[in-house]
Structure 1
Amino acid sequence: MPVGVLAVVAAGLWLLWWLLEVPPDPVAELRAGQEQTVRLDREGLAIFREPPNYATFCEVKDSAGRAIELDHSPGPSTTVGGKDWVVTLTSDNPVPPGTYTITCGAIDDSGTFAVGPGMFRLPDAVEERMDVIPPVIILGGLLVAGTSATVIFIRRRRCRSKAG
């Protein structure tokens, strides 16, 4: 029984993580090489790029001119106003709401970028293990089903042998 409960809890956590990974809508667009100042009303920062997603580089500075470190791990996609966007960069650390200046480019010197608030992020230690959870849920479910089937089989066999 505890394995089944753990499997249900793990499935719920994985589903919650999957639902929370949807990025918020971008608040501004900019072309490659263009400098854009944006106001973010929520914590965090995400930079989107229209597919195809060639190597992207951006420089972000806060209102005091301090550089914001960016994480280059690709993220989920979203569609806003008929445009497809893919998260290509996010702020390495949570940044407070405020005004930021962004300049982006790409190897192909083209493309449209968008900027928006950051996504909900799980702690790195948890996020790194999220790819493991679905197989664990499946194996846990198979273990519970197999154990239940074995117990039922043994009990029925004992009942038949006592009756016969």
Structure 2
Amino acid sequence: MKGFRQFILRGNLVDLAVAVVIGGQFSSLVKGLTTSFINPLLSLFGNQQSLDKYQFTVKHSVFTYGQFVDDLISFVVASAVIYFLVVHPVARLLRMFAKDQASNERNCPFCTRSIPLAAVRCPECTSVLTEGTPAAADLPDPRPAPAPVR
């Protein structure tokens, strides 16, 4: 029972549950936006306010493509809102933090992994780093120069 309680109260699981609930609410919000505002705008070009009535029939089979178009509009609106209000700002924030972190790091001269300035041993290649060890950018390129193309 204790292990189950730890599993349930783990931060990642709680975050995921909150994300699912918020995602469901966001989905209904976008659906409401589509039916309340976007469909009436589309009805300015036609006579119907709802796209659900658009359909065609082939050999007694009814294909309601209007509902699909309505769902497609909802998807595009939701994707745009998530990208411009969540993904893009978070990416910008992560780039800002990466710049701050880069000023506190240097590259290992042996394997070129990014390591803290205060490190005395590289965690990747386990090379001993001294204060006089140049950064990888300061070392000459060990690869031979390419042959000229004739």
Tell me if both proteins adopt one fold, taking TM over 0.5 as the criterion.
no
TM-score by length of 1: 0.25
Rg larger in 1 or in 2? 2
| Higher-strand-fraction structure | 1
| Higher-helix-fraction structure | 2
TM-score by length of 2: 0.27
